[in-house]
Amino acid sequence: MYYYDWTFIILIPALLLGLYAQWKVNSTFKKYSGIMNSRGLTGAEVARRILDANGLYDTKISHIAGSLTDNYNPKTNTVSLSDATYSSTSVAAVGVAAHECGHAVQHATGYVPISIRSALIPITNIGSSMSWIIFAVGLIFGSYNLAMIGVILFSTTAVFQAVTLPVEFNASSRALKTLEDSFILEGDEIPYARKVLSAAALTYVAALISSLAQILRLLLIAMSGTRRRK
């Protein structure tokens, strides 16, 4: 199957973008982690303020290990803040905490894209786990139709990632508006938080582009591989 190797070239631009996005988010977060907000509020304190301001008094805030492992879990109704966010008073930490609270508000208000994303999770899990097996079987037996089923199943990942983009952009938009309107950050601190969240958003864009490149690669392999079997 050495003749399939050339298709990896298609993934190189997406791989480079992914590496750049990861470097960008890490370097940007590190840079603005060194700038403390003028009010001296920690990420956890900011999260509590935002949640309470939106009537989400029952939403819990927890501390989890790691850096940039922050997340909101709708099943447990918990905003989890990482080591670099929970107790930090940096503008980067405040921005990230506000972003995760944005997801909590999305769920509470029935934001449509996040409802769609939640519904896609089980479909995406099945699709991603079965796609490579079905695709490989299609190639082995020279079945173009079976290989294409594998491609379609893998494509559910790209659909999920595409739906994730507006969810993440909206959470960041909500976060920045709240930070500004509630005077949690000063006017000159808002751009710093925006840069942190914009860098984080790039990782989601890179992930989608990577999946699209992989889909193109699989299509080319399917057409070439099954044709060779005939």
Domain edges within the chain: 2-229
Question: Which helix (H) or strand (E) is 178 found in, with range?
Answer: helix 144-181
**What single-letter DSSP state applies at residue 42?**
-
Percent of the chain with pLDDT over 90: 90
Predicted confidence at residue 142, as pLDDT, reads 87
pLDDT greater than 90 at residue 5: no
Predicted confidence at residue 6, as pLDDT, reads 78
C-alpha 44: how far from chain center? 21
Q: 210 is written with which tokens?
A: 């990577």
pLDDT greater than 50 at residue 4: no
Residue 47 Rama label (left phi>0; alpha psi -120 to 50; beta):
alpha
User: CA nearest 168: which of 137, 143, 197?
Assistant: 197
Known active-site residue 186 = no
Per-residue confidence at 225, pLDDT binned at 50, 70, 90?
low
Name the catalytic one among 100, 180, 186, 189. Answer: 100
pLDDT tens column, 80-128: 999 999 999 999 999 999 999 999 999 999 999 999 999 999 999 999 9
Predicted confidence at residue 1, as pLDDT, reads 41
Prediction pTM value:
0.89
